[in-house]
Amino acid sequence: MTYTNRADGSQINQPTARAQTGAHSGKTQVNRLAGGQIDQQSSINFSFDGKQYQGHPGDTLASALLANNVRLMARSFKYHRPRGVLTSDSAEPNALVELRTGARQEPNTRATTAELFDGLVAKSQNRSPSLKYDFMAINDRFSNFLTAGFYYKTFMWPVSFWEKIYEPIIRKAAGLGSLSLEEDPDEYDKGFLHCDLLVVGGGPSGLSAALTAGRAGAQVILADEDYLFGGRLNGETFGIGEQSGQDWVAATVAELHSLPNVRCMSRTTVNGAYDHGIYSAVERVSDHLPVPPEGKPRQILWRIYSKRTLLCAGAIERPIAFENNDRPGIMLASAMRDYANRWAVTAAHKVAIFTNNDDGHRTAVDLIAKGVKVAAVIDTRADAPRIADCELLAGAQVIDTSGRLGLKFIKVRLADGSERSIECGALGVSGGWNPNVHMTCHQRGRPIWNEQISAFVPGEDSIPGMTVAGAANGDFSTAAALETGSAQAVAALGDLGIKTSKIDLPQAEDAPVNIQPFWHVRHGKGRAWLDQQNDVTVKDVKLAHQENYRSVEHLKRYTTLGMATDQGKTSNMGGLAIMAELTGQSIPETGTTIFRPPYSPVAMGTWGGRARGKDFHPVRETPSHKWALENGASFVEVGNWLRVQWFSQPGETHWRESVDREVRAVRASVGVCDVTTLGKIDIQGTDAAPFLNTVYANAFAKLAVGKTRYGLMLREDGNAMDDGTTARLSEHHFVMTTTTANAVEVYRHMEFVRQCLFPDMDVQLISTTEAWAQYAVAGPNSRKLLQKIVDPEFDLSNEGFEFMACREITVCGGLRARLFRISFSGELAYEIAVPTRYGDALFRRIMEAGKEFDVVAYGTEALGVMRIEKGHAAGNELNGTITALNLGMGRMVSKKKDSIGSTMSEREGMNLPDALNMVGFKPVNSADKVTAGGHLMTKGTPVDAEHDQGYVTSACYSPILNSSIGLGFLKDGANRMGEIVSLVSPVTNLNVDVEVVNPQFVDPEGVRVRA
Amino acid sequence: MGYSGFRVIKEALTGHKGWKPAWRDPEPQSAYDYIIIGGGGHGLATAYYLAKEFGKKRIAVLEKGWLGGGNVGRNTTIIRSNYLLDGNEPFYEYSMKLWEGLEQELNYNAMVSQRGILNLIHTDPQRDAFTRRGNAMILNGADAELLSVEQIKKEYPFLNFNDARFPIKGGLAQRRGGTVRHDAVAWGYARAADRLGVDLIQNCEVTGFRIENGVCKGVETSRGYIGANKVASCVAGSSPRVMSHAGIRLPIETTVMQAFVTEGLKPIMPGVITFGAGHFYCSQSDKGGLVFGGDPDGYNSYAQRGNLPTVEDVCESGMALIPALGRARMLRMWGGVMDMSMDGSPIIDKTEIGGLYFNGGWCYGGFKATPASGMCYAHLLATDTPHKYAAAYRFDRFRRGYVIDEKGMGPSPSLH
Amino acid sequence: MHDLKPITPLWGTVAQVDNIGGMRISECPDWALASVASRRGKEDAAAAAAAKFLGFDLPDVARCATKEPFAAFWMGPHQWMIEAPHDTHEDLAAQVTAAVGENASVTEQTDGWVRFDLEGPHCHSVLELLCNANTRAMDQGAALRTQLAHLGCFLICRKTGTHFSVIGPRSSAGSLRNALITAVKSAT
Amino acid sequence: MIINHPLLGPRDAQEFTFLGSASLIDRPDWQAEDALEQFSDYTYLRNDTGGENRELWFHEAGDRSWLVVTRNTFTHEITNVEMASDVARARGRSK
């Protein structure tokens, strides 16, 4: 046996030699048979509930447990009934375990799909203290009180008891497995694949399709959830042509591997069909290993872009409901066959079969061939054919079973009405097969009823671009699967203009479907299970019917039928059939429930990929980042940017000390702040000026070359969208700055205006945010400092470069740069920009040159303090509900031109006499604190919403004013200067008196900026 | 026939033979005083309160599919009254008070569970905004609490406090927020309304209105014409379709919002949490599944399903916030059709057509509003005046400039 | 001549190169970039002037054209990015502006971007873990803009199958490199 | 979803940002007598009754084109994709 690891996604585990006997299985594996697609020559150690066992490479946890005579693997959700496996695949509702330990503990893993690896540790779940003795099994005794929907009818009195007593008890009992609550140590990848034809499922139809398309040269992806290709052929004894089924699979897969245009992906579940041919698939790269190899993912989420898709997902056998049909040892007949043929295991050495169709008899035939005693085949059909060499009880039904922790006896009602007890340790049940229509429902397609096979088949065109072949389409025989797989592949490629023809199909089994629908045994008062995980019984469906929860959706929601981790793959059909019976309608009239993605549950880690922890979002670093790291910076996230909040100097123990120092230094001398994060948009073209006149509410057409202007941008609804400054570098060339937060939205908006509203304007836009390192140099000594940086031919005097001037200059001996005389702080200030690769050097140069002025670097906190002191609105004020009028800029909105938002800002509700105005606040008692988020009340009025007068948007401690100060919006605030109002913040226990003041706390006349 | 623990025991001992249908399946009559279009949560609640609080008779609810099959049956079951704006907060707080007495009112256990909702804070501006909101809540009589990181760690120790890209800096909690078993809300109202004589008519799709001289006289349905004195649309995501039959254009677009649930897990999540730096919110159901979601897909859709980018975005956010979720498996995803209004707030109002009323625009927040929406709509229908808590929810607020824009996103429905 | 020392997007004085699993990921800071967008009504004149300057025609949609010392790739309708060696063309934007005059708008883009070249036999396996582009269908000279590890990037095929350039936002150079390295480790 | 870009061919909708109805192209005349009413309708009223919907998508992570996509909102089927600037010109918009 070779186990190859993922190389190009085309690995499979194929046994190189098939064992002939079970001789090496040792004494513990008492249920191990001979043969199978496992390596009986070597052994694997594993443990379940602390007990050590051995299995073989190729085993699943379920097959290995059965081999060790462990039938009891789980407890059910509600009644804590003892349970074993029902299936041998991903449809399993019962045998869910906690796999692995520590941070890798994985709840609710199906034992039927967990590949055995050396050292595997599994634990049963939802039981206490042990699987055999579960206290909560008491629920089973009280099941009569715990019927469908019982909780809707009780727990209402006394009123307080629901949340204090009842619900905590219910919640404690809830859930199946548990999370470790530690961070998942494994990595996950996400990727993208493209193909002409995606073949979902690698059974006979899928292999046939992939071979057809592969030979035609199409780009093909073949995916199967199993670790072996072959689908049902792995569990059957059919031959194909001259070969055994397994040999045909091996030969076919080998040919597919040899084709460079075919990607064979085993352990890959295609689990969702999304619009326009996009499918999600999960490849389990490392789940069969103790831990993933270094750097490799546990799983990969593939998004597959396919031009055509062929669903070859096979069919799922359905059980029959009868009393106590849920005991460990009772499983689907096909699962029993799989375990025997593929894994060389039987759940017991004496078994029985209960069926309503010919296919069930195959299990008897195969098990007898494997040396297992089949006590009887019980067939509901009176005219059942004799197929297996054992006792046939035609027209008989299993009416009850016994065996507390595992099946011991079944009770059979014979055709003549007499009853007989049969001893057996396992019972294979077949109620027929349901085509696996799951994925055809993902776009809300409805399956249609096929009377001939008594099952739903996919509706036409359920998913655009997807067709269905083989058993998934109701073509159950192997020959039909091979035939339809190839034919549908030819058709799909034909749609794409790739002409090809069907491959030569080998001879294969072609048995007709011979079934007499039979859903549940009518007998005494016991419970017959439909949804085994959620403990939904036939009685519950009857009760739902009685209480008029009759629509399929009501049935599902009231009883929880089909809401377990298998989405009802083995149970929905039975529930539906019984409801149909009760209402007297046909099954198709009764309806279908819809399956939702994903086909089988997908780990959150897989969906999340590598976007975790620090890698959740990419980081954006500013040009001075490295210097900041070296100089005591504390960083803060602003969108994806990391900006410096403040720089701590030795001895500073509280952030306020650092911020106060930075503010004082700027106002006293000079400071530097990295403002690269502000959005920059290069705007060029002969219509650039009229364009700006349109996107800004205030006038821009007449801005002089070499000048910068503040601009207020409105949304079409008249509320402020963003603000910033725009500089006119030349007649047809502007540079706009946006706020850091809105850079992307503003750019998008301007492209909308350009392309959708004024498509003939000659304007070109491109973002230059990152191309330039831009620093604010602010403070009374900023000019003196910059004179040491800017090359001497550029006149920086107040006359030569006045307030709001801009110019392309050179610095440090000839490096191209841009200089803007703009100020956010209210001080004499500039912003200087150089190509980003020189940003680090320039920052260091400025700090060096500024030493004589005691220059400081300052962060966003100091920036914020100074802009509040100066009364500049920022993000906290531009909250999306604020107008120009609210900001005190109502008159800026030009009525002489058409600009975005100007018309709508004239609406009544936005121009009320007592509209909010932005004002400043200062505490009456200087020790009091102004709190952002506090609400404002007129003095003497009640403190409630009705009397709310506004709110504080921004607040800080001003080291210049030695007081806490704030900005905010107050009704009619412009006319309330000097008024004392109450600032209340009950959520922070604050109620102080503040004075309404001019928002420009510092230099309201604007002398400094023009100095 | 009342529901009670005693009754459950009695029925259990007598073979459950006594349980009666939760509601009748009446044939539609030729005319009613009130026709409510839409048998979702809001429609059923409206019918119930119209009968119960206003004593009205001859009421029918017309449902095109099955009762409770709209968004009341496909949401993430959260209730809260943590709104900011004056037009909204009193309404949602009123709704919260109605939730608090709902089960006794309806004699149906909808499992109102006030386990708290916590909005996480990751930035200083967010803290300022949440402070303002918390204050607005308290000033409106609701409860709110700002939590420190240490307090949050105690309740949610498994959140990412180690290497988060956007560290948690605090949170705004509403302890009275929580979850309710969504289907049970619909069933509880349906059963209670039925018991007051309301005709609940399933599989009855409204295909048109009969309007004469500007007055609505009744509705054309898949089961024939039904006359009515007053017709009340209450169809959430189908609002634009239904109202178009009356020639009315709405300030509403219909988009898809996805939601997700994991396999059942032993309890970890005490209440509801929302991530402030990504698109993710989550709670744990009484069955053990983690129920979560994020933002709408962002495009118009009536398809009741979404696409992968949103699925991945939500799960990435979930993993960023809760690294321990890695090995929990998502079991199912689904999509609801959302009536996204232009300012993110609802409309409960008369229309320009006499006798025709409208309730919609709930965006993806309609579930928590169910009781108050029903009560306020019933008030409007019964009295022709708006209920005091729904006075702001008028059509003309857009034209007149009184929008109620909680998020400040402007007239882009998919952004609310 | 100014005396400010440039640094690379990854904060180095020299470009960073990683060799992992037979793949080479190299930071390529030595390229000047300028965008050129034709003015409305001047599309032909702009194209002619650009062709004269470059020595080749501006490429078609989603293509990259190369002739030393220049390369140019399509960015959007009527808009291209021009590449040239930084040592000799640091003032590329000015040169292009001089060449196209009033027929096109030219913007310096040099330092808006970080370029990583990915070379080796596993380019497709690496890139399929990073972006939705069907790189197997990209031949030499194919150029497109897409999302890669949540970042808007240009992806240019320099040599079919074995050499791609990823040109992403400079401020996220570290995140982009991290994503590339992680993908290479996983795929090789 | 996949949007068949008129210039670039099929591209994942993930690269695009959705805005809303293509009627946003028809911005009213600000000098019209009833400009405020027209703008109110333009800004707020929609006809999103399901089925074929013409809508604006921005190729944000691509070539920065605004596109008008005709998409069925019941099935998500896309039947037409146009450059928004072409549509705008065809609807009489210029400077």
Inter-chain touch D2–A276, beta carbons under 8 Å: yes
- How many Å separate Cα A776 from the centre of its chain? 42
Contact B309 D53 (CB under 8 A): no
SS3 of D77, please?
coil
Taking the C-alpha atoms of residue B41 and residue B379, their distance in angstroms, rounded to an integer, is 16
In this predicted structure, what is the pLDDT of residue A26?
52
Q: Give every CB contact of residue B260 below 8 A, 6+ residues apart in sequence.
A: B291, B292, B293, B311, B314, B315, B330, B332, B333, B334
Contacts of D among chains (3+ CB pairs under 8 A):
A, B, C
Sequence-ordered list of residues with C-beta below 8 angstroms from that of A826, at least 6 positions apart, any chain: A866, A867, A869, A870, A872, A1000, A1002, A1003, A1006, A1008, A1009
Assess whether pLDDT exceeds 60 at residue B88: yes
Q: How far is A707 from chain B (nearest CA, A)?
A: 32
In a domain, A832, yes or no: yes
Amino acid at A280: S
Rg of the Cα trace of chain D? 14
Q: For residue A235, what are its two tokens?
A: 């569990």
- If asked whether residues A834 and A975 sit together in one domain, one would say no
Q: How many helices and strands, by DSSP H and E, does chain B display?
A: 11, 18
Band of pLDDT at residue A248, cut at 50, 70 and 90: very high
* CA–CA distance, A407 with A331 (Å, rounded to integer): 11
**If pLDDT is split at 50, 70 and 90, which confidence band does A727 have?**
very high
- Contact between C76 and D83 using a beta-carbon 8 Å cutoff: no
Average of per-residue pLDDT across A71-79: 96
Does residue A2 register a pLDDT over 50?
A: no
Comparing alpha-carbon positions, the chain C residue that sits nearest to A815 is C2
C-alpha triplet A346, A348, A354: angle, nearest 5°: 90
C-chain CB neighbours of A196 within 8 Å are: none
Nearest CA in chain D to B248: D47
**Alpha carbon of A643: minimum distance to chain C alpha carbons (Å):** 12
Region of residue A639 (phi > 0: left; psi between -120 and 50: alpha; otherwise: beta) = left
| Statement: residue A19 has pLDDT above 80 | no
pLDDT for res A18 = 36
pLDDT tens, residue by residue, A457-511: 999 889 999 999 999 999 999 999 999 999 999 999 999 999 999 999 999 999 9
| Element spanning A785, H or E | helix A782-787
Q: How far apart are the first and last CA of chain A?
A: 85
State mean pLDDT over A420-431. 98
pLDDT for residue C1:
84
Average pLDDT over residues C134-161: 97
Nearest to A875 among B125, B157, B315 (CB): B125
Most distant CA pair in chain A, distance: 116
Confidence of residue A202 (pLDDT cuts 50, 70, 90): very high
- Please write the tens of the pLDDT for every residue from A214-247: 999 999 999 999 999 999 999 999 999 999 999 9
Q: Are residues A669 and A781 in the same domain?
A: yes
How many residue contacts between A and B have a Cβ separation below 8 Å?
366
**Cross-chain residue pair D85–A717, CB shorter than 8 Å:** no
CA torsion, points C99, C101, C104, C108, in degrees to nearest 10? 60
Q: How many domains does chain A have?
A: 5
Among chain D residues, CA nearest to C62: D8
Identify whether A509 is part of a domain: no
Signed CA dihedral, A193, A196, A201, A206: sign only: negative
| CATH superfamily, with its number, for domain D2-27+34-94 | Folate-binding superfamily (3.30.2270.10)
The partner residues of D12 in beta bridges, in order of sequence, read D2
Per-residue pLDDT for A11 more than 60?
Answer: no
Does position B295 have pLDDT exceeding 80, yes or no?
yes
A295 contacts on C by Cβ (under 8 Å): 182, 185-186
Q: Contact C146/D15, CB-based, under 8 Å?
A: yes
User: What are the domain boundaries of chain D?
Assistant: 2-27+34-94
Question: Would you say residue A15 has pLDDT above 70?
Answer: no
Q: B259, B258, B260: which is closest to B330 by C-alpha?
A: B260
- Residue D8, CA atoms < 13 Å, CB-side half-sphere: 32
* A907 in a structural domain: no
* In-domain check, residue A618: no
Q: Name the residue among A443, A898, A904 with its Cβ closest to that of D43.
A: A904
The average confidence (pLDDT) of chain A is 95
Among B28, C125, C138, B101, smallest CA distance to A7 is for C125
Kindly state which CATH superfamily the domain B117-180+254-341 is placed in: D-Amino Acid Oxidase, subunit A, domain 2 (3.30.9.10)
Instruction: Check residue A6 and give its pLDDT.
Output: 34
Residue B71 is predicted with a pLDDT of 93
List the structure tokens of C140. Answer: 């030499």
Answer whether residue A573 is part of any domain: no
Taking 60 as the threshold, does the pLDDT of residue A24 lie above it?
no
Q: Which residues of C touch D63 (CB under 8 A)?
A: 74-77, 145
DSSP string, B303-370: SS---HHHHHHHHHHHHHH-GGGGGSEEEEEEEEEEEEETTS--EEEE-SSBTEEEEE--BT-HHHHH
Residues on chain D bordering chain A, Cβ-to-Cβ distance under 8 angstroms: 1-2, 12, 17, 19, 24-25, 27-28, 30-31, 35-36, 39-40, 42-43, 56, 58, 60, 64-66, 75-78, 83-89, 93-95
Query: Does the pLDDT value for residue B1 go beyond 80?
Result: no
Co-location of A827 and A970 in the same domain: no
CATH number for the domain spanning A852: value is 3.30.1360.120
| Closest-CA distance of chain D to residue C173, Å | 17
Number of CB atoms found within 10 A of residue A929's CB: 18
Closest chain A CA to residue C79: A764
Burial degree of A626 (CB within 10 A; 0-12, 13-18, 19+)? middle
Cα(B385)–Cα(B376) distance, integer angstroms: 10
- CB-based contact A762 C151, cutoff 8 Å: no
Q: Determine whether the interchain pair A759/D76 forms a contact, defined as Cβ–Cβ distance below 8 Å.
A: no
In this structure, chain C runs to a length of 188
From chain C, pick out residues whose CB is under 8 angstroms from the CB of D62: 144-146
> Same topology for domains B8-81+83-102+182-251+344-415 and B117-180+254-341, yes or no?
no
Smallest Cα distance from C68 to chain A, Å:
24
Percent of chain A with pLDDT over 70: 97
Residue C114: phi and psi, rounded to 5, are: -120, 135
Which residue in B300, B305, B313, B310 sits closest to B340, CA to CA? Answer: B300
The pLDDT value given to residue A773: 98
Q: What is the pLDDT of residue A615?
A: 96
Question: Which among C76, C132, C147 has CB closest to D63?
Answer: C76
Residue A471 in domain? yes
Q: Quick one: A717 and A778 in the same domain?
A: no
| Min Cα separation C110/chain A (Å) | 6
Chain A residue with Cα closest to C78: A764
Query: In whole angstroms, what is the distance from residue A874 CA to residue B107 CA?
Result: 52
Nearest residue to A74 via CA among A50, A97, A100: A97
**Secondary structure of residue A765 in the 3-state scheme:** strand
The Cα–Cα gap between C100 and C46 comes to: 6
Q: Using 50, 70 and 90 to split pLDDT, how confident is the model at A27?
A: low
Structure tokens at B153: 């760690």
- φ/ψ of C65, rounded to 5, equals -115, 145
Q: Is the pLDDT of residue A716 over 70?
A: yes
List residues of B whose CB lies inside 8 A of any D CB.
Answer: 240-241, 244, 249-254, 298-303, 307-309, 342, 398-399, 411-414
- pTM for the whole thing? 0.96
What tens digit of pLDDT does each residue of A262-319 get?
999 999 999 999 999 999 999 999 999 999 999 999 999 999 999 999 999 999 999 9
Same domain, A974 and A1002: yes
Question: Closest residue of B to D1, CA-based?
Answer: B307
Touching C (3+ Cβ pairs <8 A), the chains are A, D
Model confidence band, residue B148 (pLDDT cutoffs 50, 70, 90): very high
Q: Across A630-757, where does the E strand assignment appear?
A: 633-638, 641-647, 671-674, 679-684, 708-714, 720-730, 733-738
Instruction: Look at residue A21 and tell me whether its pLDDT is greater than 80.
Output: no
pLDDT tens-digit readout, A35-66: 999 999 999 999 999 999 999 999 999 999 99
Q: What is the CA radius of gyration of chain A?
A: 38
Q: Side-chain half-sphere of A817: how many Cα atoms within 13 Å?
A: 28
pLDDT at residue D88 greater than cutoff 90: yes
D13 has a chain C CB within 8 A of its CB: no
Find the length of chain B: 416
| Architecture field, domain B8-81+83-102+182-251+344-415 | 3-Layer(bba) Sandwich (3.50)
Chain A residues close to B128, C-beta within 8 Å: 876, 932-933, 953-955
Which one, of A669, A907, A641, lies nearest residue A780 by Cα? A669
Query: Which 3 state secondary structure label does DSSP give A781?
Result: coil
Using a CB-CB distance cutoff of 8 angstroms, which residues of chain A are in contact with residue D64?
751
**Within this chain, do residues A208 and A311 fall inside the same structural domain, yes or no?**
yes
> Is residue A974's pLDDT more than 80?
yes
Element (H, E) at A412: strand A409-413
Q: Percent of chain D scored above 70 by pLDDT?
A: 100
Confidence band for A20, pLDDT divided at 50, 70 and 90: very low
Q: Label each residue of chain C as H, E or C.
A: CCCCCCCCCCCCCCCCEEEECCEEEEECCCEEEEEEEECCCCHHHHHHHHHHHHCCCCCCCCEEEEECCEEEEEEECCEEEEEEEHHHHCCHHHHHHHHHHHHEEEEECHHHEEEEEEECCCHHHHHCCCCCCCHHHCCCCEEEEEEECCEEEEEEEEECCCEEEEEEEHHHHHHHHHHHHHHHHHHC
Say if residue A808 is in the same domain as residue A849. yes
Question: Exposure of A630 by Cβ count < 10 A (0-12 exposed, 13-18 middle, 19+ buried)?
Answer: exposed
Give the torsion sign (CA, B279, B283, B285, B288): positive
The torsion angles phi and psi of B75, rounded to 5 degrees, stand at -125, -175
Distance from CA of C73 to the nearest CA of A (A): 15
- Within an 8 Å CB–CB cutoff, is residue D47 touching chain B? yes
For chain D, give the number of residues: 95
Same domain, A299 and A197: yes
Give the pLDDT band (50/70/90) at residue A174. Answer: confident
Which of A548, A592, A956 has the highest number of chain B CBs within 10 A, making it the mutation to test binding with B? Answer: A548
Contacts of A443 in chain B (CB under 8 A): 303, 305
**Position A415 in a domain:** no
- Shortest distance, CA D65 to any CA of chain C (angstroms): 7
Are residues A660 and A790 located together in one domain of the fold? yes
Backbone angles phi, psi at B226, to 5 degrees: -130, 125
Residue A762 near residue C39 (C-beta atoms within 8 A)? yes
Omega prior to B28 cis, within 30 of 0:
no
Do residues A804 and A687 both lie within one domain?
no
Q: How far is Cα D10 from Cα D27, in angstroms, rounded to an integer?
A: 30
Residue A124, sorted as left (phi over 0), alpha (psi -120 to 50) or beta, turns out to be beta
Domain extents for chain B?
A: 8-81+83-102+182-251+344-415, 117-180+254-341
CB contact under 8 A, D8 and C152: no
Domain of A786 in residue numbering reads as 655-677+771-860
In a domain, A335, yes or no: no
For residue D46, count other CB atoms closer than 10 A to its CB: 22
pLDDT of C147-159, one tens digit each?
A: 999 999 999 999 9
Q: Which residues pair with B253 in a beta bridge?
A: B340
Chain A environment of B131 (Cβ under 8 Å): 931-934, 985, 987-988
Q: What is the rounded average pLDDT of the residues B142-150?
A: 98
Q: Across chain B, what does the average pLDDT equal?
A: 96
Residues facing A970 on adjacent strands: A917, A950
Give per-residue pLDDT as tens, B180-202. Answer: 999 999 999 999 999 999 999 99
Write the CATH number for A477.
Answer: 3.50.50.60
**Quick one: CA dihedral A103, A108, A113, A114, positive or negative?**
positive
Please report, for residues A75, A322, A326, A429, A526, the alpha-carbon distance to residue A400 in angstroms, rounded to integers and kept in the order given. 20, 7, 10, 13, 8
